[in-house]
Structure 1
Amino acid sequence: MPALTTRRAILRAAMLAAPLLLPAASHAQADGEPLKIAMILPGPITDNDWNSVGYNGLKLAGEALGVDVAYAENVTDADAERLLRDFASRGYGLVFAHSFSFGDAALNAAESFPETIFMAGTASELSDNLGTYSNPDYQGAYLAGMLAAGASETGTIGWVGGMPAPNMLANLHAYTAGAGEVSPEVTVLHTFIGSWFDPPKAKEATIAQIEQGADVLSAQGVGVIDGAAEKGVLALGAMTDQNFLGEETVLTSVTWDLGPLVTAVGQAVMDETWTSENWSYGVASGSVGLAPFHGLESRVDPAVMEAVEAKIAAIKDGSFEVPLDTSPVE
């Protein structure tokens, strides 16, 4: 993460008690009350990663539906339930808990506010007014693995992530499977650094993999691209187009557009058709995809580029389904 973004994150950490409001036009629900949508996020909305995706999705949904939206950023696990309750008490009819670790807080808040719809990024238990939503970026990870194998000159590629949560395990397994389709003999190195945000440690793990021969790495955490750029190898970004972090380093990025999902959930709440389930929008809906290559596509075998395009089409038409594997790894 750039130094300026880090300083902004520190400054915003003191603002949790007063969630920031984004005004927009109101739209009436079926019962005549205007819907308002809120979201709490575990980090800064300027991270060009998980939190930026959440904020951008919320903003796009507000514009598409013509509803008021609000958010709180840099929310800790300890403060999550308080802020969820605060939004619900102020009339926000749909509240997103945008973190893998906010599920229990959302469940508790949902029990106290049965008229409010809550959506948790991960929830071990659902209720009548609590649903969940997933980031099926493992579908994009399969494509990233194909590209990594197609760009590698050493036959060894890498993957560096934070914690071995189911989402991350699915990403790693899909990346490995995609690489294997292109090059059955490819070696895939992987490292979980034990933290969702530790740029120095992520950079250190990246350099360690490069020293073992990896010349293309999947950047599942901030700091990976810095390490790849320093050592002159390629990286694949995540969540947003991260080419600006290394214009000669970031081949492409697996992106996630949360706007369609937040919009669909909001529309369902207004139509009174919302159901408690796992909402998931991936490649087929255009929510998960690949960012532009910014002129670096020449680094990939042309036959592999064609194979990736064909795979995207197969996922969209249903003729290929990316395997969802969340089994533990050593």
Structure 2
Amino acid sequence: MTSFMTLSRRRFAQAALLLVATTALSTPVLAADLKIAMILPGPITDNDWNSVGYNGLEAAGKALGAEVAYVENVTDADAERLLRDFAERGYGLIFAHSFSFGDAALNAAEDFPDTTFMAGTAADLAPNLGTYSNPDYQGAYLAGMLAAGTSKTGSVGWVGGMPAPNMLANLHAYEAGAKEIKPEIKVLHTFIGSWFDPPKAKEAAIAQVEQGADVLSAQGVGVIDAAITKKVFALGAMTDQNHLGPEAVLTSVTWDLGPLVTAVGQAVIDGTWKSENWSYGVAANSVGLADFHGLDKHVDPAVLKAVEDKIAAIKAGTFEVPLDTSEVQ
């Protein structure tokens, strides 16, 4: 495995090639010889959105026997250039792993019709541009149930980045799940205006605790630090984040992107890929809850049973988590 990592975002434009981390896997490459690339808006070590993207890419590479490459810490201004660079270098499937890379992917797709592009939540599609969504709002509903069932103050919090449709869906589902357990629960929410600003996220979370919230949904890096500081519980996101706060992180809503990236890659190889929204959620075992690491002792057993029943109902198709992307104040 060879890897070239960035040391400074300021050197990005001058040393783009050095930012590309490429993995040539030892498993046999399939006849299609597919090469898969991904650009990510933040660091792959964030234990959050970018880690999920990187882990999904690596899993697909191993499953398909494909060469994979990525660039992390990509700004919106650099996204289109990097997508074009990968296409020019023969990568047949390229993921633009951000809510804000949709326009860049669309522009690149128009000039590289033989390359398949996938953009995280794209507003417009093309014959060779599809989109994929993170239906973590399904898990957010479960998190809301747990938050309400754990809260002693009757107030819980939620801190996220930008009011994109995916994040709005997460917030509304979290609130709906909380109100299923305690209809009178108060749900505080804050959008910090950035996808990655740990100090700002921590500040917003602390403000919610000072308003009475004793359980926080950590939809951004920094919220768990606030939970540790203020000695309240947090619900992690994307990966099992308990190691970031062993006594604070009750559980996490996890997203395994590997099955989706693998399925998209296989469809490209088979010639069956379609330009549409690809979405793998609770029913596909891609969205779920991480281990409680013993902290479930703080949750009413009746609430834990209700959460288990809800997961079973979602998988059986007898309950559908409401998808609400309406704007909030």
TM-score, normalization: structure 2?
A: 0.95
8 Å contact kept, 1:13–1:74: no
Match of 2:135 in 1: 136
Unaligned runs of 5+ in 1: 1-7
CA distance in 2, matches of 1:13, 1:98: 21
CA distance in 2, matches of 1:28, 1:37: 15
Task: Tell me the number of residue pairs that the alignment of Structure 1 and Structure 2 aligns.
Answer: 319
Match of 2:242 in 1: 243
Report the Cα offset of residue 26 of structure 1. 1.6
Q: Partner amino acid for 1:23?
A: A
Report the Cα offset of residue 42 of structure 1. 0.9
8 Å contact kept, 1:37–1:67: yes
1:180 maps onto 2:179 in alignment: yes
Partner deviation per Cα, 1:195-219 (whole Å, 9 max, x = no partner): 1111111111111111111100100
Equivalence map 1:40-55=2 (5 Å): 40-55=39-54
Q: Secondary structure at the match of 1:328?
A: coil
Q: Secondary structure at the match of 2:184?
A: coil
Partner deviation per Cα, 1:157-211 (whole Å, 9 max, x = no partner): 1111111111110000000000000111111111111111111111111111111
Match of 2:312 in 1: 313
For structure 1, which segment, 190-199 or 285-294, has the greater mean C-alpha deviation from structure 2 after superposition? 190-199
CA distance in 2, matches of 1:200, 1:69: 33
Q: Secondary structure at the match of 1:164?
A: coil
TM-score, normalization: structure 1?
A: 0.94
Equivalence map 1:113-124=2 (5 Å): 113-124=112-123
CA distance in 2, matches of 1:222, 1:275: 34
CA distance in 1, matches of 2:168, 2:95: 24
8 Å contact kept, 1:12–1:44: no
Q: Secondary structure at the match of 1:37?
A: strand
* Superposition CA RMSD, Å: 1.2
Q: Partner amino acid for 1:85?
A: R
Report the Cα offset of residue 11 of structure 1. 3.5
Match of 1:204 in 2: 203
**Correspondence for 1:26 among 26, 29, 32:** 29
Partner deviation per Cα, 1:104-160 (whole Å, 9 max, x = no partner): 110111011100000000211101000000000000000000000010011111111
8 Å contact kept, 1:40–1:98: yes
CA distance in 2, matches of 1:266, 1:289: 23
8 Å contact kept, 1:216–1:236: yes
CA distance in 1, matches of 2:179, 2:121: 29
Partner deviation per Cα, 1:43-62 (whole Å, 9 max, x = no partner): 11111111110000000001
CA distance in 2, matches of 1:23, 1:11: 24
Q: Secondary structure at the match of 2:168?
A: helix
CA distance in 1, matches of 2:159, 2:268: 38
Match of 1:221 in 2: 220
8 Å contact kept, 1:12–1:73: no
CA distance in 2, matches of 1:88, 1:14: 22
CA distance in 2, matches of 1:258, 1:278: 14
1:14 maps onto 2:14 in alignment: no
Partner deviation per Cα, 1:205-234 (whole Å, 9 max, x = no partner): 111111111100100111111111111100
8 Å contact kept, 2:150–2:300: yes
Unaligned runs of 5+ in 2: none
Match of 2:326 in 1: 327
Share of identical aligned residues, percent?
A: 78
CA distance in 1, matches of 2:303, 2:131: 35
For structure 1, which segment, 231-240 or 71-80, has the greater mean C-alpha deviation from structure 2 after superposition? 71-80
8 Å contact kept, 2:42–2:196: no
Report the Cα offset of residue 307 of structure 1. 0.4
Which consecutive aligned stretches of 4+ in structure 1 deviate over 2 angstroms post-superposition? 8-16
Report the Cα offset of residue 14 of structure 1. 3.4
Match of 2:286 in 1: 287
